[in-house]
Amino acid sequence: MPIISLSIPKELLRKIDEYVENRGYYSRSEVFRDAVRSLIEESEYMSREKIAATIMITYDKDNISVSKVVSRLNHEFNDIVIESIHRHLGSGFCVDIFIAEGDRERVRELLSRVRGIHGVYHVKHMFIPI
């Protein structure tokens, strides 16, 4: 297997080493191979005309404006959103999950709009080829 060189900040390297230890990887190289595979896989999925996706967001439960935007997006993208889930986590957080299926560009537009919601802590997504 070819060997490559990579320069990264010390703090990031420390976090990678923690990740290796906590996730049961044997080496840093395994982590990087895994990450690169995921990036390439996502890129390949996005080359398809029709895809499915899950989009998960977390936010403060007291931030009503986020809930309103999420509801509006559910209605605006009802042509591709096939399921939407809202749950409370712990004492202070909400999680919303969109499950979407349809034209790649429309799904990408939904993800972009979700990422743009002010007050969202995290956005995670996964594409699925269909």
- Tens place of pLDDT for every residue, the chain, 130 residues? 899 998 999 999 999 999 999 999 999 999 999 999 888 887 777 777 899 999 999 999 999 999 999 999 999 999 999 999 999 999 999 999 999 999 999 999 999 999 999 999 999 999 888 8
Specify the pTM.
0.76
Side-chain half-sphere CA neighbours of 88 within 13 A: 6
- Kindly give, in sequence order, each residue whose CB lies less than 8 Å from that of residue 60, ignoring residues fewer than 6 positions away: 66, 92, 93, 94, 119, 121
DSSP at 76 = H
Beta strands in the chain (DSSP E): 50-60, 81-89, 93-103, 120-129
- Rounded Cα distance between 46 and 107, Å, is 10
